[in-house]
Amino acid sequence: MKKGNRLNRLGPNQQKILLLLSAGIGLSLARTPRQYFTILKEAPKEWKKINKKSLERAIYNLYKSKLISERENSDGSLTMVLTDKGKNKAITFKIDSMEIKKPKQWDNKWRIVLFDIPEKHKRAREVLRETLKRLGFYEYQKSVLVHPYDCQNEVDFVVEYFNIRPHVRIITAIELDNELHLRKIFDLI
């Protein structure tokens, strides 16, 4: 096994560290108080799950793979920061681990994502479609996907990451002509 290949595969603790460091970036980009407080609530929970020895080893390997670096502060302390390579890796993990939470009771609204993404952004279009399907969306038409639960934050994250905002719309509908079929698909009957 090549040394470089071993460093490209990250363990669960390294993934958590990258995601927690990216939470700091997320706080600065949060657009609503709800997003801000969600990040604040989840970060400490994940941090507590990491064993100290594993943490030290994971941080060492992250430095070695150039996914994080350190910055010296004016008071002499050091701050870990994500490198650009680390930010990309963290965002990839975020997309891969994302899920839409199922509420206790459905609000009887459909979330419809429509997109018309130009050919020059073909890869972003494919990843958006694959990600939405993995999140449980039903492909209503080729560029129209439907989900019964609130998914605004998840869709916004993917759309912003690929910089395709002008090509994607999200509609919340209270009625669809084939609603019975969709209710069966999503087990809402």
pLDDT, tens digit, 9 for 90 and up, residues 26-75: 555 555 666 656 666 666 666 666 666 776 777 777 778 787 888 888 88
Q: What is the pLDDT of residues 90-139, one digit of tens each?
A: 666 577 778 898 999 999 999 999 999 999 999 889 989 999 999 999 99
Please report, for the domain that includes residue 67, its CATH number. 1.10.10.10
Give the structural domain span for 66.
3-97
Measured in degrees and rounded to the nearest 5, phi and psi for residue 6 equal -65, -40
User: Number of folded domains in the chain?
Assistant: 2
Note whether 170 and 92 are same-domain residues: no
Positive or negative CA dihedral for 117, 90, 41, 131? positive
Note whether 91 and 114 are same-domain residues: no
Measured in degrees and rounded to the nearest 5, phi and psi for residue 110 equal -105, 135
* Number of other residues whose CB lies within 10 A of the CB of residue 100: 18
3-state secondary structure of 113: strand
68 is a domain residue: yes
Note whether 170 and 122 are same-domain residues: yes
Q: Which candidate, 71, 51, 55, places its Cα nearest to that of 18?
A: 55
Q: What is the pLDDT of residues 161-174, one digit of tens each?
A: 778 989 999 999 99
132 is a domain residue: yes
> Which of these three, 49, 68, 97, is where a domain ends?
97
CA distance 149 to 187: 12
145 is a domain residue: yes
175 is a domain residue: yes
The model's pTM: 0.58
Note whether 114 and 180 are same-domain residues: yes
